[in-house]
Amino acid sequence: MRDLKNVNDAISFDIKKDRLFSATHEEILKGYTTDIYFLRAQEILRHLNLESTPVVAEIFPRREGIFAGLPEILYLLKDKNVKIWAIPEGESFVPYDTVVRIEGPYNEFGVFETPILGILASSSAWATATKECKEAAGDSPLLCFASRHVHPAVAPVLERSAKIGGADGLSCVLGAKIAGIVPKGTVPHSLKVAKAYDEIVEDNTPKIILVDTFKDEAEESLRVANLLKDRLSGIRLDTPGERGGVTPGLVREVRARLDQAGFSYVRIYVSGGLTPERIRILKEAGAFAFGVGSYISSFSPIDMTMDLKEVNGKKIAKRGRIPGKIDNPKLIQVK
Amino acid sequence: MRDLKNVNDAISFDIKKDRLFSATHEEILKGYTTDIYFLRAQEILRHLNLESTPVVAEIFPRREGIFAGLPEILYLLKDKNVKIWAIPEGESFVPYDTVVRIEGPYNEFGVFETPILGILASSSAWATATKECKEAAGDSPLLCFASRHVHPAVAPVLERSAKIGGADGLSCVLGAKIAGIVPKGTVPHSLKVAKAYDEIVEDNTPKIILVDTFKDEAEESLRVANLLKDRLSGIRLDTPGERGGVTPGLVREVRARLDQAGFSYVRIYVSGGLTPERIRILKEAGAFAFGVGSYISSFSPIDMTMDLKEVNGKKIAKRGRIPGKIDNPKLIQVK
Amino acid sequence: MRDLKNVNDAISFDIKKDRLFSATHEEILKGYTTDIYFLRAQEILRHLNLESTPVVAEIFPRREGIFAGLPEILYLLKDKNVKIWAIPEGESFVPYDTVVRIEGPYNEFGVFETPILGILASSSAWATATKECKEAAGDSPLLCFASRHVHPAVAPVLERSAKIGGADGLSCVLGAKIAGIVPKGTVPHSLKVAKAYDEIVEDNTPKIILVDTFKDEAEESLRVANLLKDRLSGIRLDTPGERGGVTPGLVREVRARLDQAGFSYVRIYVSGGLTPERIRILKEAGAFAFGVGSYISSFSPIDMTMDLKEVNGKKIAKRGRIPGKIDNPKLIQVK
Amino acid sequence: MRDLKNVNDAISFDIKKDRLFSATHEEILKGYTTDIYFLRAQEILRHLNLESTPVVAEIFPRREGIFAGLPEILYLLKDKNVKIWAIPEGESFVPYDTVVRIEGPYNEFGVFETPILGILASSSAWATATKECKEAAGDSPLLCFASRHVHPAVAPVLERSAKIGGADGLSCVLGAKIAGIVPKGTVPHSLKVAKAYDEIVEDNTPKIILVDTFKDEAEESLRVANLLKDRLSGIRLDTPGERGGVTPGLVREVRARLDQAGFSYVRIYVSGGLTPERIRILKEAGAFAFGVGSYISSFSPIDMTMDLKEVNGKKIAKRGRIPGKIDNPKLIQVK
Amino acid sequence: MRDLKNVNDAISFDIKKDRLFSATHEEILKGYTTDIYFLRAQEILRHLNLESTPVVAEIFPRREGIFAGLPEILYLLKDKNVKIWAIPEGESFVPYDTVVRIEGPYNEFGVFETPILGILASSSAWATATKECKEAAGDSPLLCFASRHVHPAVAPVLERSAKIGGADGLSCVLGAKIAGIVPKGTVPHSLKVAKAYDEIVEDNTPKIILVDTFKDEAEESLRVANLLKDRLSGIRLDTPGERGGVTPGLVREVRARLDQAGFSYVRIYVSGGLTPERIRILKEAGAFAFGVGSYISSFSPIDMTMDLKEVNGKKIAKRGRIPGKIDNPKLIQVK
Amino acid sequence: MRDLKNVNDAISFDIKKDRLFSATHEEILKGYTTDIYFLRAQEILRHLNLESTPVVAEIFPRREGIFAGLPEILYLLKDKNVKIWAIPEGESFVPYDTVVRIEGPYNEFGVFETPILGILASSSAWATATKECKEAAGDSPLLCFASRHVHPAVAPVLERSAKIGGADGLSCVLGAKIAGIVPKGTVPHSLKVAKAYDEIVEDNTPKIILVDTFKDEAEESLRVANLLKDRLSGIRLDTPGERGGVTPGLVREVRARLDQAGFSYVRIYVSGGLTPERIRILKEAGAFAFGVGSYISSFSPIDMTMDLKEVNGKKIAKRGRIPGKIDNPKLIQVK
């Protein structure tokens, strides 16, 4: 597979028909996920002998959030002749902040404008959503359960971004590996399953059992606690919306019943449609930890825009933008 | 890389530290994007000698939409011992419709629950968003400009889903290839650039020039039309929000000025923050085609849920669900 | 106890200190629940030798509704020298309709203005609230469970008004007796209780068991159905608000599970915070009958106003009202 | 009339057909206002030889308010073998506070669950509504004019509850007697009536004349002040809604005209659709006292729930509630 | 006073310090109410020898309405060398309709751009507001009482515009004269005043008496009707807002009382804060005629814009407008 | 033209048919802009020999605002035998404040009630609207561009009132003269025009050029700055609504581009649909001065009411008002 250089390449290459639709790493690195627009632009520059003209490009977001995705950008451009400045991974930004600046010949990176913006827009959105939840959870553990809502190709990207945003636990195997932590989960429950689980797993693992499955949550919590005793670390409530979801009243009741039965060490994990506001309410009611899924996965990408700010040392700008570099004291040279 | 079979595998494997964070095709196919939860579940089943128990699982959505992503599901399970029924790609669904049914031993597909749901949730959301826009556009061309808002690993998935939802043009090179069409785009404009473009590109290509760049849109439209004459197919308006965006008044004015100057064959393409409602308004004002980006990319994934409905021929269900298969006349056996 | 005639009587009479606070029938009939205002008015008329002047008084409501309470009015005035016209019990009215007209000397009924207006305001409100629920329930049985929200002195008045408004079942013993029907209820549930109930009650009684008590509603419904078999007529869902209340999803699920287990003859009764709108939704989901409480008991009294319209044959009116009788074709002479 | 003990009693007793529909004191004390549900429950307990099992029951409200009705509860249970704790009459409560606790054999009080809850729900609602008005009125007199909106059987209960909630004056003769105060009212006005009233009533009574009747309020206020001179204590404005109601402008004008004419000692009483908010506005405008009716009578009953918390010394609870007694430091043993 | 020709004139002329601030007719005709902007523009044109260049100017509104003010425009330009087209006085327009087109040398009318736009903006607004009221009043008389809310210099302009918009009666002496009708009004009322009025005015005049002044409106209506008998044509209700304004209930009551007393020929005129919506409600309640003031006077001027559409036969336009004449079939040549 | 004295005069006088419709100064001074109502009233008083009865009349507003128009009132009444008190021109008032008090025989000023109220209502509204804008603008210049929205007869009244409310610049020639300042404006732009203007006008005048006309605002601002250099004082942005209006982003961009090009001394004037809120936003974005039009011209007249408060030394009032003078410490005797 050769580097994508011009419009003709973009039309004439072949792919297998029977495949996953997500792009492979090679396809991304060779430029095949670009918009055709940028190939046209490069062809014209070449025609005008301008392809090596030095330029300064800056990227800015249109909403506030938490910056994530930089390592993938650096990996994409690792062999290119450009200098790069960026704000640190996990740093906050406000609209119009310069978050990345790239200097070098335009043809070194022009074809990567689409993937660079896409990586930053997605990763920053997921980190930002997680940060909002973590702020609501405070010192309580926040677990990311969002991978089932996104394409598996980006599930590890999402989980790693959630880690940047403050998630304490990740459920996706590859995501946790990339983020450098051990994946965490719970176990579906029936008495038989819980017993088997108890036999399989060495005792020092924290066992958390999901009790939404077949019976009343309070009754089941007590049954599983009586079965596993001090080998039970927590139960997870995930009452489906059809049954009213997890309410503060349910958390309070299960907490009281566990306490009355001597299981005050058993922690209550909650999940199911959590938002920062519901996290605050359920924490107040006694929940210990929070599993968040769709709040993170459905957070809108934070649109990023790349503007040329200098060409050949001369300040320029499109209509509606201010010509020349816009400084941001948080920027650090990273390449 | 070996198939992911148990919790220990999930902890002990190694990956390169310096890499893109998106999952490779091999990682997805070997099960590395699963939630750890499903590995635990499979381990317990194995311990209970139940791993080969035949089950029936069904997938249903929680919001209405357009179904997309089936070919990837079939590719994922192509070597597995399961039967599959599904509604056709591009078909509409309402909440709680059974959209996929899988029959076979649970361990044949359990580890793929996370990626299967993620593929369907994302792809169906993108197809649904595009459909809404296409319904607004009617017989006018709808172009998908969304790839810059998502991670490049899924940009082709998004574009292919947009095609399923009715998009007439795609901008991402790999996305268009997978969808089986030629990618489409415009060219940034300055007189010099337009002239170069005119020289490079063979005359029978439809040339569409973006006129948002440096000058008044009406004035620039006329200049580029005068330069390219009948080699100009259309101009694209993409006035930035800082300058008020593309308004119906602007479309009407540019249309009138082009007509008065004899360029009634030059079509007006519009883009920038379009929604179904704005598409309707701008179409009314005279726009010819519509480039949509963030409406598609920020459409919330349509949560999909997989439930076990039969185990060993016996109807079951979690609390809040109805036991046994739920029929849907749109289901067709696909494997 | 003598009839209350003047202000002095109203101050000098004695009552037991240790008693219920509600008025006895005798106290009401002797005039002791009047406002002191009307005693003053009568004293003045007597002083002016006007106490026997013939007058025409009319009562009108300020909101629309269903008329109820007439038999108590007639009982109150049964020995008085007045003629009375009224719209029929259960008839609808709109604001400013004349619903009752009384002709005779003012001192025959003046002291009863307070109790007459109070009876009509309360009874009509309760009948109206019930009517709204019954219209939502259509041909499904509507049961009144409101007596626990009102003072026991008026519980039978409320239940009888609910009957006028369309209730099919009443729960209060005295209320049902006054309304001329057999009281209806359910039984709290635990397996032991259900078994005992089954032994006590002769088989041809419809047995309806409340399943909100200790376990998951679906599971319990099946257990009680398996225990009582065809001696079970229905189960009642009354899930408390702390657990999300009775949802359409819960009704659908319990219905499906009962049907799958061969108990399609077991009906689903629902209660708990029902309103006309929720009745419509739950009926759609498969509920058979509806127990309504606080919607009826908390319905605001429909203010009734009594105006003098003629004195000694001469039309009069207070400011803001139109002098003279206001006819209503629904009026019928009832005394 | 014998005590109501079982379902058969509830069906077979007789009543007079021609009567008031409200329950007599005897009917209430013998249990005839219970829900049939509680008779069934008791029958089953008897069948299981559990009728004398000691239980602990607690009552809690679902909205915040002012507690009222305790003396009637104690009167109902005066001959029963139970211990009772309660918060003081007039005390405030918040949702889920334990307001009453009863200990003893269930069959001693089970049949009274309906009337006990009904008394507390109604009385506390009326006291709470009055309290809200009194807080708005501050040190200004608050008069309860609500008896004409409720059934005469409970008019004295309402008025006594209003006294608990802070009302300074009551209009219902029996209500005032039960509350231990002298009833208060005004007199309808025409010059002739006012003159007669002046002749009848001894001079040291505070005379308050209603001036809404036939003429302009300001003009009439002056005429009646000129007639009665220092024998006039106040005038009452009660302008009907058809004429715009009592507005702050009207109060200010009448106050100014009375002052200019030397009647600054004549106070302005207002009534007609008052709410706490309107009381605040009219007080600001110069009103002296406030007559409130429908705000009190239409206040929704504050639902009360009785839960069994211990049976035979063992903690229990229905689903959704926390097992065992829930302490409240405001509770005092009252029996 | 000489014609205003250039910036210097605009600064050097003198006026009396002690005067009314409104412009005299001469000042308007000589150009002294122009914006200085237009003088500058003309000076520059003269400098460029372009002052006599033929141009086409068009005026369009930005909101919909009723066209009024044309005769004053024609009077302003009566001696100028221009051709004029306009839509007819009283015609309706929608936004962007061409309502006036002027052709001729720019210096013939440029200095009048400000007064021309001002006349049309004010006059059309007043006509439009009146039209809305008249549509609500239908066949009932609509009287304009707005002159007291505007400067006397434009009171006749307002009244004449109201006539264009459909007003049946005008109250301002000069306004009525200009509109060619006899001014109409009512008389303030006290018995003494009404009697005097009856003596002064010849009997065949329709006498309408304002009854808001000192007493209850219903009582006063009857007194004045009894005094003037068939010499009374109508009474006017104008209850001040401090007393609740004129309500439908008041109209109904006064109508009923007049009818009952044999004065069904006496008509009810209403005024005070009327809007189209209140006119509809009060007409329904029985009001005969409507006096409208602030709805007309406070109607926002309908902004008018004058654009040059051709210069020397060449189509032009400012940014945001379409070049060249925009035809409107309602245009008629008027000069 | 004689003074207007009675109803007959009002009907029998003649005017030219071909004229402006605004009232001349003489017509106003002779009373021809009165409502016919006041002539009737005066005729009746004369008939009753009451025309010379001394009265006290007071004027109060119904909304809060800034007082303006007093000099015209004094000019109107300069030869009348009355004493006048008023609050100072430019002073603030709240609803019901006495702003003017007139003492003297009613026939001296009765016929002027309509014009007096109209002058104050209009002038105070315009002053108040301007004040709100000036408060938003703070120390930035505020220019009144409203004359094109009102009839030329009152354009100078509006502008003079705007000056009272705080406007720093006026555009109407006669308005500025009356307000005692030099009129200010800008110049429409094209390179040719700007050059001509530069040649005509002596260099020490501040030149402000409108750049909305034909090209992109930023580009044009730079072109005109390069042409006029330090003879350019400011540019005015007035982007039409069809093109999105003047946005904060546009102001920021033009400011930055001017600064980068060395034109930091060129100020940005903005206009077009400004309101106090938009002034605050655009000032924050870097605008220097603000041209306001329709916010001032469309501000609703502040209704003024004149009440008789004493007749022949006796306090009186209409219903709804308080009899006698109402003092206001801000009142000063002005005649």
Task: From chain B, pick out residues whose CB is under 8 angstroms from the CB of E317.
Answer: 253
**Closest approach of E165 to chain B, Cα-based (Å):** 31
Contact flag B253-E321 (C-beta cutoff 8 Å) = yes
- In the predicted model, is pLDDT for residue A215 greater than 90? no
Full 3-state SS string of chain B? CCCCCCHHHHHHCCCCCCCCCCCCHHHHHCCCCCEHHHHHHHHHHHHCCCCCCEEEEEEEECCCEECCCHHHHHHHCCCCCCEEEECCCCCEECCCCCCEEEEEEHHHHHHHHHHHHHHHHHHHHHHHHHHHHHHHHCCCCEEECCHHHCCCCCHHHHHHHHHHHCCCEECEHHHHHHHCCCCCCCECCCHHHHHHHHHHCCCCCCEEEECCCCCCHHHHHHHHHHHHHHHEEEEEECCCHHHCCCCHHHHHHHHHHHHHCCCCCCEEEEECCCCHHHHHHHHHHCCCEEEECHHHHCCCCCCEEEEEEEECCEECCCCCCCCCCCCCCCCEECC
- What span, in angstroms and rounded, lies between the C-alpha atoms of A207 and F193? 82
Measured CA distances, C274 to A192, C137, C176, F21 (Å): 39, 11, 21, 67
Q: In which band, very low, low, confident or very high, does the pLDDT at D186 lie, cut at 50, 70 and 90? A: confident
Task: From chain D, pick out residues whose CB is under 8 angstroms from the CB of A263.
Answer: none
**Closest approach of B121 to chain A, Cα-based (Å):** 6
Q: In which band, very low, low, confident or very high, does the pLDDT at C76 lie, cut at 50, 70 and 90? A: very high
Quick check: C262 contacting A, CB < 8 Å? Answer: no
Torsion of CA D163, D165, D166, D168, to 10 degrees: -30
Contact exists between F and C (3 or more beta carbon pairs < 8 Å): no
Q: What is the mean pLDDT of chain A?
A: 91
Cα nearest neighbour of A96 on chain F = F249
Contact flag E252-C319 (C-beta cutoff 8 Å) = no
Question: DSSP E strands: which ranges in chain E?
Answer: 54-61, 65-66, 83-86, 92-93, 100-105, 142-144, 169-170, 207-210, 232-237, 267-271, 289-292, 304-311, 314-315, 332-333
Q: Please tell me which residue, F12 or C24, carries the higher pLDDT value.
A: C24
Contact flag F324-D216 (C-beta cutoff 8 Å) = no
- Give the chains touching A; criterion: ≥3 Cβ pairs < 8 Å: B, C, D, F
Q: Which of B212, B197, B225 is nearest to B271 (CA)?
A: B212
User: Which secondary structure element, helix H or strand E, spans residue F113, and what is its range?
Assistant: helix F113-137
Contact flag D322-A218 (C-beta cutoff 8 Å) = no
Tell me which of A315-324, C211-220, E34-43, E60-69 is least confident. Answer: C211-220
The residue count for chain D: 335
Quick check: D324 contacting A, CB < 8 Å? Answer: yes
**C203 three-state secondary structure:** coil
> How many Cβ atoms sit within 10 Å of the Cβ of residue A194?
23
> How many Cβ atoms sit within 10 Å of the Cβ of residue A43?
20
Contact flag A322-F252 (C-beta cutoff 8 Å) = yes
Task: From chain F, pick out residues whose CB is under 8 angstroms from the CB of E156.
Answer: 21-23, 33
- In the predicted model, is pLDDT for residue D214 greater than 70? no
- Read off the pLDDT of residues E68-110 as tens digits, 9 standing for 90 and up: 999 999 999 999 999 999 999 999 999 999 999 999 998 899 9
Task: From chain A, pick out residues whose CB is under 8 angstroms from the CB of C223.
Answer: none
Distance of CA D290 to the CA centre of its chain: 17
Tell me which of C179-193, D137-151, F256-270 is least confident. Answer: C179-193
Task: From chain C, pick out residues whose CB is under 8 angstroms from the CB of B320.
Answer: 249-250, 253
pLDDT value at residue A240 = 81
Q: In which band, very low, low, confident or very high, does the pLDDT at B204 lie, cut at 50, 70 and 90? A: low
Kindly state the average pLDDT of the residues E234-239: 92
Full 3-state SS string of E69-133? CHHHHHHHCCCCCCEEEECCCCCEECCCCCCEEEEEEHHHCHHHHHHHHHHHHHHHHHHHHHHHH
- Read off the pLDDT of residues B305-314 as tens digits, 9 standing for 90 and up: 999 999 999 9
- What span, in angstroms and rounded, lies between the C-alpha atoms of A314 and D258? 83
Contact flag E260-C319 (C-beta cutoff 8 Å) = no
Q: In which band, very low, low, confident or very high, does the pLDDT at B48 lie, cut at 50, 70 and 90? A: confident
State the Rg of chain F over Cα: 25
Task: From chain C, pick out residues whose CB is under 8 angstroms from the CB of B319.
Answer: 216, 218, 253
Contact A174, A154 (CB under 8 A): no
**Closest approach of A16 to chain C, Cα-based (Å):** 45
pLDDT value at residue D148 = 93
Contact F128, F274 (CB under 8 A): no
The amino acid sitting at C104 is G
Quick check: B2 contacting A, CB < 8 Å? Answer: no
Contact flag A322-F218 (C-beta cutoff 8 Å) = no
pLDDT value at residue D158 = 98
- In the predicted model, is pLDDT for residue C179 greater than 80? yes
Tell me which of A56-60, A182-186, B55-59 is least confident. Answer: A182-186
> What single string gives the DSSP state of each residue in D6-41?
SHHHHHH----SSS-SSPPHHHHHTTTTSBHHHHHH
Residue C334 CB partners (closer than 8 Å, separation 6+): C70, C74, C84, C85, C86
Contact flag D153-C23 (C-beta cutoff 8 Å) = yes
Burial class (CB in 10 A: 0-12, 13-18, 19+), F16: exposed
Considering only the beta carbons, identify the residue of A315, A319, A321 that sits closest to F260.
Answer: A315
Q: In which band, very low, low, confident or very high, does the pLDDT at A288 lie, cut at 50, 70 and 90? A: very high
pLDDT value at residue C2 = 85
Size of interface A-D (CB pairs under 8 A): 17
Q: Please tell me which residue, C156 or C45, carries the higher pLDDT value.
A: C156
Contact E33, E276 (CB under 8 A): no
**D231 three-state secondary structure:** helix
Kindly state the average pLDDT of the residues E59-74: 97
Kindly state the average pLDDT of the residues A312-317: 88
The residue count for chain A: 335
Cα nearest neighbour of E114 on chain F = F148
Q: Please tell me which residue, B193 or F327, carries the higher pLDDT value.
A: F327
Task: From chain A, pick out residues whose CB is under 8 angstroms from the CB of C242.
Answer: 247, 249-250, 253
Contact flag C247-A244 (C-beta cutoff 8 Å) = yes
| Pair of tokens at residue F256 | 């930055």
Percent of chain E at pLDDT > 90 equals 69
Contact D69, D123 (CB under 8 A): yes
A187: which DSSP letter? B
Task: From chain B, pick out residues whose CB is under 8 angstroms from the CB of A148.
Answer: 35, 113-114, 117-118, 121
pLDDT value at residue F29 = 95
- What span, in angstroms and rounded, lies between the C-alpha atoms of B275 and A122? 20
Q: In which band, very low, low, confident or very high, does the pLDDT at B207 lie, cut at 50, 70 and 90? A: confident
Kindly state the average pLDDT of the residues E192-216: 74
Q: Which of A171, A90, A71, A173 is nearest to A134 (CA)?
A: A90
Measured CA distances, E213 to B273, E275, F48 (Å): 61, 23, 19
Contact exists between A and E (3 or more beta carbon pairs < 8 Å): no
Contact B113, B306 (CB under 8 A): yes
Kindly state the average pLDDT of the residues D143-164: 96
**Closest approach of E243 to chain D, Cα-based (Å):** 6
Widest Cα–Cα separation across chain A: 80
Considering only the beta carbons, identify the residue of C240, C241, C244 that sits closest to A245.
Answer: C244
- In the predicted model, is pLDDT for residue D205 greater than 80? no
Full 3-state SS string of C57-123? EEEEECCCEECCCHHHHHHHCCCCCCEEEECCCCCEECCCCCCEEEEEEHHHCHHHHHHHHHHHHHH
The amino acid sitting at C209 is I
Task: From chain E, pick out residues whose CB is under 8 angstroms from the CB of C322.
Answer: 252-253, 256-257
Tell me which of A185-194, A215-224, C23-32, C39-48 is least confident. Answer: A185-194
Q: In which band, very low, low, confident or very high, does the pLDDT at A322 lie, cut at 50, 70 and 90? A: confident
Contact D147, D159 (CB under 8 A): yes
- Read off the pLDDT of residues D36-56 as tens digits, 9 standing for 90 and up: 988 888 888 888 888 889 999
Q: Exposed e or buried b for every residue in E108-135, given b needs 16+ CB within 10 A?
A: bbbbbbbbbbbbbbbbbbbbbbbbbbbe
Measured CA distances, A198 to A209, A229, A264, E168, F219 (Å): 11, 10, 20, 93, 74
**Closest approach of E81 to chain F, Cα-based (Å):** 19
**Unique residue bearing structure tokens 């229990």:** D316
Considering only the beta carbons, identify the residue of D319, D321, D324 that sits closest to A260.
Answer: D324
Quick check: B148 contacting A, CB < 8 Å? Answer: yes
Contact flag F320-D253 (C-beta cutoff 8 Å) = yes
Quick check: A318 contacting B, CB < 8 Å? Answer: yes
- What span, in angstroms and rounded, lies between the C-alpha atoms of B183 and B203? 18
Q: Is E175 left (phi over 0), alpha (psi -120 to 50) or beta?
A: alpha
User: What are the start-end ranges of the H helices in D21-97?
Assistant: 25-29, 36-47, 70-76
- Read off the pLDDT of residues E265-283 as tens digits, 9 standing for 90 and up: 999 999 999 999 999 999 9
- What span, in angstroms and rounded, lies between the C-alpha atoms of A63 and B294? 13
Task: From chain C, pick out residues whose CB is under 8 angstroms from the CB of B317.
Answer: 253
> What residues in chain F have per-residue pLDDT under 70?
188-191, 202-206, 212-214
Cα nearest neighbour of D324 on chain A = A260
| Model pTM score | 0.87
Tell me which of A280-289, B53-62, B241-250, C274-283 is least confident. Answer: B241-250
Q: Please tell me which residue, C154 or F45, carries the higher pLDDT value.
A: C154
Tell me which of A54-68, B39-53, D167-181 is least confident. Answer: B39-53
pLDDT value at residue F76 = 96
Cα nearest neighbour of E152 on chain F = F115
Residue B129 CB partners (closer than 8 Å, separation 6+): B165, B295, B296, B299
**Closest approach of F213 to chain B, Cα-based (Å):** 11
- Read off the pLDDT of residues F2-57 as tens digits, 9 standing for 90 and up: 888 888 888 889 899 899 999 999 999 999 999 998 888 888 888 888 888 999 99
Q: What is the mean pLDDT of chain E?
A: 91
Quick check: F206 contacting B, CB < 8 Å? Answer: no
- What span, in angstroms and rounded, lies between the C-alpha atoms of F88 and F66? 10
Quick check: C285 contacting A, CB < 8 Å? Answer: no
Contact A284, A273 (CB under 8 A): no
| Pair of tokens at residue F231 | 């003879």
pLDDT value at residue D289 = 97
Task: From chain E, pick out residues whose CB is under 8 angstroms from the CB of F186.
Answer: 37
Quick check: E21 contacting F, CB < 8 Å? Answer: yes
Question: DSSP E strands: which ranges in chain D?
Answer: 54-61, 65-66, 83-86, 92-93, 100-105, 142-144, 169-170, 207-210, 232-237, 267-271, 289-292, 304-311, 314-315, 332-333
Q: In which band, very low, low, confident or very high, does the pLDDT at E11 lie, cut at 50, 70 and 90? A: confident
Contact flag E11-F178 (C-beta cutoff 8 Å) = no
Contact B166, B203 (CB under 8 A): no
In this structure, the strands spanning D267-271 and D232-237 are parallel
**Closest approach of A32 to chain B, Cα-based (Å):** 5
The amino acid sitting at E305 is T
Most F CBs within 10 Å: which of B212, B219, B243, as the mutation test of the F interface? B243
- In the predicted model, is pLDDT for residue A42 greater than 80? yes
Contact C224, C257 (CB under 8 A): no
Residue F12 CB partners (closer than 8 Å, separation 6+): none
pLDDT value at residue C220 = 87
Considering only the beta carbons, identify the residue of F315, F320, F321 that sits closest to D260.
Answer: F315
Most E CBs within 10 Å: which of B251, B257, B259, as the mutation test of the E interface? B257
- Read off the pLDDT of residues F181-201 as tens digits, 9 standing for 90 and up: 998 877 766 667 777 777 777
